[in-house]
């Protein structure tokens, strides 16, 4: 194939300073864990140990929640315009140190530097900037009847967009007057720990933002803490259901942003080359570790062969490798566990009878990698067509009519996102009206903006993040 | 002459039906004692089937049409006002309280009839994204809704437990225990207001008997609890509902925009701008 030779262009790691060991960030300072237990966080592209982070136990969580309760006293006395200014300052500081954050994100999580630098970090800063401006206008958003904060909010975020998910959670929560205990994912805690330093730097009142690191047991302690008034979770549908069950019968607010198996529908009257780009971006962005990834390609039967041909050709130009190389399109799979899951599902797809295409490329020796993959000849009941793979694997199904496309697209318990490719405007609107999905991209895919609400239908969760609607996730209706 | 006494039945799929179980429970009013159908698990499942089809029909009507059907309900109640007042008095309310309650109910229905073609202008908006995209967030009804109404003897409370969901396009299975006679009387006016069959079903009985099924039935997308239920019942509902990430709203707001927000999903659509 026509793989051009590129000279390496490696972003320097020198800009980041990683401590050997981190405590929790509680009440405005880093503290050693009561548990006295730590776990290593590694770089998934080299398997090198980057640092050790604390594992929060019941007492650590209790300490953090109490700090947030104390912080709430101060934060609720802070005027909305002052709250706004803290968030604006955080946005500015993130912009100033964005290169450092981007390198750290790519090191700890494995995503290509061009994505952490050009996508994650600009979005993070913009998200704080956007919600900063809401802090002193809450009454205008949904009326004075829906304008009260919950109080202490527990937030649990995933490893695919570590700092971006932090910003989606923390910025609206603080803008609406809540205080936060955040738990980042165990494999990607480092940018959140650096963010904690910024909170100290901008002089955010103590206890307003608290960070507790650890694994699933830590998250579970947070969910079950008696003084938490609201839980916001982004992650898998199975964990989301577990959290919903854990909160049964308790007066605790809950928003869930869970899994997806998005259909990316390509009609035969689409601009095919643009659609190919969109489909590639839809599934291979961030190694496919994206809950809203366009993981089911629904292509109209009469253009199947020509489309797949173009798609395979385009896929072959993807560059897999060192996340810190500015040429890299596909970085490392986030963890060994995730790599095993992807591998198992792909193997099952092959044994079920799916036809697998993988690009020809050399994978680095160390670290966790998976070749961009495309399945054709798939039946709708194969696991690869129904289960979220959360990796660089695209599954193709075909349809004959728009009605059939909608039926296949909706034939899933998920309902997070969907894509539509056609040059015909009325068909876009007709299709969009019928898809059970919270975010629909027409003639584009995987676009995000702090002003644009994001969240799912059905078992993809409830509540929205982003935009005016995102405020509702942190406000209570007072009756 | 002997007075003819009415037999009250469930209202499901636009028909008046008995419980398939044949079971009843008694509601003792001042003059009369009524035997009310006691909802079984099978009755609930049948109602969900009807409600699913009813949702498709109700949701496909234009907002203008839905608005007129709700308004029609207020007209029907107005016409039968005296009989509602008499029935409320039978429940022990004073004449004055009964009259006020019926008038409040009519006003509530008119408020919701009037917001059907407007709420989306209050909940949806264009999003000013940083790029050349048309990006709009609008709302859709969540779908089949189960609503447990308050046990206050009140026509107004009763209509407030299904109007928020109906006004955004959801179909509703309205369930009541103590308000059963009132609810089943209301179903006669509902039947005369041109609601598509299945869009609003009315069941009566003991919530405890069906709580697990309400939680576990995946076709029920949302359960709204307007009644103060025990923590055990709420926990059971939540636990069963979590298996399908069901939306469960305990004591939702029953007025204003806040009353309808739980029943909508926000859909955001992006499209690039270009030449």
CB–CB contact B269 A241 (8 Å): no
Q: Six-digit token pair at B131?
A: 């790029």
Q: Is residue A107 scored above 70 in pLDDT?
A: yes
Same domain? A191 vs A210: yes
Q: Is residue A4 scored above 80 in pLDDT?
A: no
Give the pLDDT of residue A144: 86
Give the pLDDT of residue A5: 76
Q: Which phi and psi (to 5°) does residue A465 adopt?
A: -120, 135
Q: Which domain holds residue A210?
A: 21-258+458-477
CB of B244 within 8 Å of a chain A CB? The answer is yes
- Looking at the domain assignment, is residue B3 inside a domain? no
Helix (H, G, I), strand (E, B) or coil at B162: coil
Give the pLDDT of residue B191: 98
- Looking at the domain assignment, is residue A113 inside a domain? yes
Q: Collect all residues of chain B within an 8 Å Cβ-Cβ radius of residue A247.
A: 238
Please report, for the domain that includes residue A355, its CATH number: 3.40.309.10
Q: Please give the tally of structural domains in chain B.
A: 1
- Looking at the domain assignment, is residue A112 inside a domain? yes
Cβ atoms within 10 Å, residue B188: 16
Cβ A60 vs Cβ A218: under 8 Å: yes
Q: How far is A439 from chain B (nearest CA, A)?
A: 5
Same domain? A36 vs A182: yes
Please report, for the domain that includes residue B109, its CATH number: 3.40.605.10
Please report, for the domain that includes residue A252, its CATH number: 3.40.605.10
- Our answer to whether residue A11 is catalytic in this structure is no
- Looking at the domain assignment, is residue B4 inside a domain? no
Residues ≥6 apart with Cβ < 8 Å to A193: A22, A25, A53, A211, A213
pLDDT in tens, A267-315: 999 999 999 999 999 999 999 999 999 999 999 999 999 999 999 999 9
Q: How far is A212 from chain B (nearest CA, A)?
A: 26
Residue to test with chain A: of B56, B220, B253, B267, most A Cβ within 10 A = B267
**CA A114/CA A86 separation, integer angstroms:** 29
In whole angstroms, what separates CA B119 from the centre of its chain?
A: 18
Instruction: Kindly identify which residue of chain B lies nearest to residue A421, measuring between CA atoms.
Output: B271
What pLDDT tens digit does each residue of chain B (275 aa) get? Answer: 788 888 999 999 999 999 999 999 999 999 999 999 999 999 999 999 999 999 999 999 999 999 999 999 999 999 999 999 999 999 999 999 999 999 999 999 999 999 999 999 999 999 999 999 999 999 999 999 999 999 999 999 999 999 999 999 999 999 999 999 999 999 999 999 999 999 999 999 999 999 999 999 999 999 999 999 999 999 999 999 999 999 999 999 999 999 999 999 999 999 999 98
Give the pLDDT of residue A2: 52
Q: Is residue A337 scored above 90 in pLDDT?
A: yes
Give the pLDDT of residue A479: 54
CB–CB contact A442 B270 (8 Å): yes
- Looking at the domain assignment, is residue B18 inside a domain? yes
Give the pLDDT of residue B152: 94
Q: In what side-by-side order are the strands of the sheet with A21-22?
A: A21-22, A49-54, A38-42
CB–CB contact A145 B261 (8 Å): no
> What own/partner pairs with CB < 8 Å and gap ≥ 24 does A427-435 have?
A427/A267, A427/A269, A427/A402, A428/B271, A430/A402, A431/A265, A431/A402, A431/A405, A431/A406, A432/B267, A432/B269, A434/A406, A434/A410, A435/A263, A435/A406, A435/A409, A435/A410
- Looking at the domain assignment, is residue A174 inside a domain? yes
ipTM above 0.90, yes or no: yes
Q: pLDDT-derived band of residue A46, with 50, 70 and 90 as boundaries? A: very high
Same domain? A294 vs A196: no
**CA A328/CA A375 separation, integer angstroms:** 23
CB–CB contact B242 A455 (8 Å): no
Q: Six-digit token pair at B37?
A: 């159908």
Task: Give the closest of A251, A451, A458 to B127, CB-based.
Answer: A451
Mean pLDDT of A394-416: 98
Q: How far is A51 from chain B (nearest CA, A)?
A: 36
Listing DSSP states for B9-49 in one string gives -EEETTEEE--TT--EEEEE-SS-EEEEE---HHHHHHHHH
Q: Collect all residues of chain A within an 8 Å Cβ-Cβ radius of residue B236.
A: 248
Identify the CA nearest to A98 among candidates A156, A47, A164: A164
Average confidence score pLDDT of chain A: 97
Q: pLDDT-derived band of residue A86, with 50, 70 and 90 as boundaries? A: very high
- Our answer to whether residue A361 is catalytic in this structure is no
- Looking at the domain assignment, is residue B2 inside a domain? no
CB–CB contact B242 A248 (8 Å): yes
The DSSP call for residue B8 is P
Q: Please give the tally of structural domains in chain A.
A: 2
Same domain? A90 vs A55: yes
CB–CB contact B271 A449 (8 Å): no
Same domain? A40 vs A172: yes
> H or E stretch including B138?
strand B133-141
Listing DSSP states for B75-104 in one string gives HHHHHTHHHHHHHHHHTT--HHHHHHHHHH
pLDDT in tens, B25-79: 999 999 999 999 999 999 999 999 999 999 999 999 999 999 999 999 999 999 9
CB of B117 within 8 Å of a chain A CB? The answer is no
Same domain? A29 vs A127: yes
Lowest mean pLDDT of A2-11, A415-424, A468-477, B63-72, name the range.
Answer: A2-11
**CA B90/CA B34 separation, integer angstroms:** 12
**CA A390/CA A345 separation, integer angstroms:** 10
Same domain? A316 vs A209: no
Task: Give the closest of A240, A258, A452 to B268, CB-based.
Answer: A452
- Looking at the domain assignment, is residue B125 inside a domain? yes
Specify the pTM: 0.96
Same domain? A324 vs A350: yes
CB–CB contact B245 A258 (8 Å): yes
Give the pLDDT of residue A3: 58
Identify the CA nearest to A54 among candidates A200, A169, A198, A217: A217
**CA A85/CA B110 separation, integer angstroms:** 44
Q: Which domain holds residue B92?
A: 10-272
Same domain? A290 vs A151: no
Given the residues A11, A105, A115, A257, the one annotated as active site: A257
Residue with the two structure tokens 């490893």: A159
CB–CB contact B270 A440 (8 Å): yes
pLDDT in tens, A202-259: 999 999 999 999 999 999 999 999 999 999 999 999 999 999 999 999 999 999 999 9
- Looking at the domain assignment, is residue B223 inside a domain? yes
**CA B244/CA A458 separation, integer angstroms:** 8
For chain B, how are helix, strand and coil distributed in percent, rounded to 5? 45, 20, 30
Same domain? A101 vs A230: yes
Q: Which phi and psi (to 5°) does residue B227 adopt?
A: -110, 150
Residues ≥6 apart with Cβ < 8 Å to B169: B55, B58, B59, B66, B140, B141
> H or E stretch including B248?
strand B247-250
Same domain? A269 vs A225: no
Q: How far is A368 from chain B (nearest CA, A)?
A: 33
Cβ atoms within 10 Å, residue A226: 8
Helix-helix angle A98-109:A121-134, to 10 degrees: 120
**CA A130/CA A88 separation, integer angstroms:** 9
pLDDT in tens, A132-144: 999 999 999 999 8
CB–CB contact B239 A428 (8 Å): no
Give the pLDDT of residue B237: 98
- Looking at the domain assignment, is residue B1 inside a domain? no
Task: Give the closest of A145, A251, A428 to B271, CB-based.
Answer: A428
Angle value at C-alpha A213, between A208 and A218, nearest 5 degrees: 100
Residue to test with chain B: of A469, A471, A475, most B Cβ within 10 A = A469
Q: Collect all residues of chain A within an 8 Å Cβ-Cβ radius of residue B261.
A: 142, 146, 472, 477
Same domain? A338 vs A469: no
CB–CB contact B128 A458 (8 Å): no
Q: How many interface pairs between A and B have CB atoms less than 8 angstroms apart?
A: 124
- Looking at the domain assignment, is residue A150 inside a domain? yes
Q: How far is B261 from chain A (nearest CA, A)?
A: 10
- Looking at the domain assignment, is residue B243 inside a domain? yes
Q: How far is B90 from chain A (nearest CA, A)?
A: 31
Mean pLDDT of A396-402: 98
State the burial class of residue B159 (Cβ atoms within 10 Å of its Cβ: 0-12, 13-18, 19+). buried
Distances (CA, A) of A232 to A183, A253, A283: 11, 8, 26
Cβ atoms within 10 Å, residue A304: 18
Q: Six-digit token pair at A426?
A: 């009325």
Task: Give the closest of B129, B234, B237 to A451, CB-based.
Answer: B129
């Amino acid at each position: 194939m026509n793989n051009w030779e590129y000279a390496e262009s490696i972003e320097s790691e020198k800009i980041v300073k990683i401590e050997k060991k981190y405590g929790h960030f509680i009440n405005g300072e880093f503290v050693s864990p009561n548990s006295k237990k730590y776990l290593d966080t590694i770089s998934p592209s080299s398997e090198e140990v980057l640092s050790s982070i604390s594992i929060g136990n019941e007492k650590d969580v209790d300490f953090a929640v109490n700090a947030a309760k104390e912080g709430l006293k101060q934060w609720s006395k802070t005027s909305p315009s002052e709250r706004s200014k803290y968030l604006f300052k955080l946005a500015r500081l993130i912009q100033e140190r964005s290169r450092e954050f981007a390198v750290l994100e790519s090191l700890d999580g494995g995503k290509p530097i061009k994505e952490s630098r050009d996508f994650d970090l600009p979005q993070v800063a913009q998200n704080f900037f956007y919600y900063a401006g809401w802090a002193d206008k809450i009454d205008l958003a949904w009326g004075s009847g829906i304008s009260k904060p919950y109080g202490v909010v527990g937030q649990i975020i995933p490893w695919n967009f570590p700092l971006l998910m932090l910003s989606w959670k923390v910025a609206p929560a603080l803008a609406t007057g809540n205080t936060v205990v955040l738990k980042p994912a165990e494999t990607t805690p480092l940018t959140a720990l650096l963010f904690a330093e910024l909170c100290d730097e901008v002089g955010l009142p103590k206890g307003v933002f608290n960070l507790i690191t650890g694994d699933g047991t830590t998250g579970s302690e947070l969910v079950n803490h008696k003084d938490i008034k609201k839980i916001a979770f982004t992650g898998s549908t199975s964990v989301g259901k577990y959290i919903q069950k854990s909160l049964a019968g308790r007066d605790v607010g809950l928003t869930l942003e869970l899994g997806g198996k998005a259909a990316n529908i390509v009609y035969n009257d689409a601009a095919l080359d643009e659609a190919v780009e969109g489909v590639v971006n839809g599934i291979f962005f961030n190694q496919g570790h994206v809950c809203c990834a366009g993981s089911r390609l629904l292509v109209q039967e009469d253009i199947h062969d020509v489309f797949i041909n173009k798609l395979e050709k385009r896929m072959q130009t993807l560059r897999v490798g060192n996340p810190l190389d500015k040429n890299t399109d596909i970085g490392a799979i986030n963890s060994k566990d995730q790599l095993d899951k992807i591998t198992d599902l792909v193997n099952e797809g092959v044994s079920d009878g799916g036809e697998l295409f993988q690009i020809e490329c050399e994978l680095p020796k160390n670290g966790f990698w998976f070749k961009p993959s495309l399945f054709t000849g798939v039946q709708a009941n194969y696991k690869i067509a129904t289960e979220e793979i959360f990796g660089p694997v695209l599954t193709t199904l075909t349809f004959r009519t728009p009605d059939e496309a909608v039926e296949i697209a909706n034939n899933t318990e998920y309902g997070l996102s969907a894509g539509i490719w056609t040059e015909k405007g009325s068909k876009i609107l007709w299709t969009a009206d019928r898809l059970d999905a919270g975010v629909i991209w027409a003639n584009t895919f995987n676009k995000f903006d702090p002003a644009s609400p994001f969240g799912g239908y059905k078992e993809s969760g409830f509540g929205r993040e982003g935009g005016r609607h995102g405020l509702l996730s942190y406000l209570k209706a007072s009756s | 002459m002997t007075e003819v006494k009415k037999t009250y039945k469930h209202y499901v799929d636009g028909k008046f039906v008995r419980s398939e179980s044949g079971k009843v429970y008694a509601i003792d009013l001042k003059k009369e004692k009524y035997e009310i159908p006691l909802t079984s698990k099978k009755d609930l499942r049948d109602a969900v089937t009807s409600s699913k089809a009813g949702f498709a029909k109700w949701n496909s009507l234009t907002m203008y049409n839905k608005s007129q059907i709700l308004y029609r309900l207020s007209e029907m109640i107005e016409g039968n006002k005296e009989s509602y007042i008499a029935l409320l008095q039978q429940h022990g309310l004073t004449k004055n309280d009964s009259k006020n309650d019926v008038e409040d109910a009519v006003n509530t229905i008119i408020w919701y009839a009037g917001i059907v073609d407007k709420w989306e202008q209050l909940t949806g908006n264009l999003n000013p994204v940083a790029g050349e995209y048309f990006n709009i967030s609008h709302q859709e009804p969540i779908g089949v809704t189960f609503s447990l109404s308050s046990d206050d003897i009140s026509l107004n409370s009763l209509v407030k437990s299904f109007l928020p969901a109906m006004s955004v396009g959801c179909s509703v299975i309205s369930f009541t225990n103590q308000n059963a006679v009132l609810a089943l009387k209301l179903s006669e006016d509902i039947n005369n207001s041109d609601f598509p069959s299945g869009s609003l079903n009315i069941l009566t009985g003991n919530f405890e008997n069906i709580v697990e099924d309400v939680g576990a039935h995946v076709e029920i997308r949302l359960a709204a609890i307007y009644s103060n239920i025990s923590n055990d019942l709420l926990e059971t509902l939540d636990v069963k509902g979590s298996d399908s990430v069901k939306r469960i709203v305990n004591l939702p707001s029953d007025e204003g925009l806040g009353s309808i927000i739980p029943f909508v999903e926000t859909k955001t659509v992006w499209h690039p701008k270009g030449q």
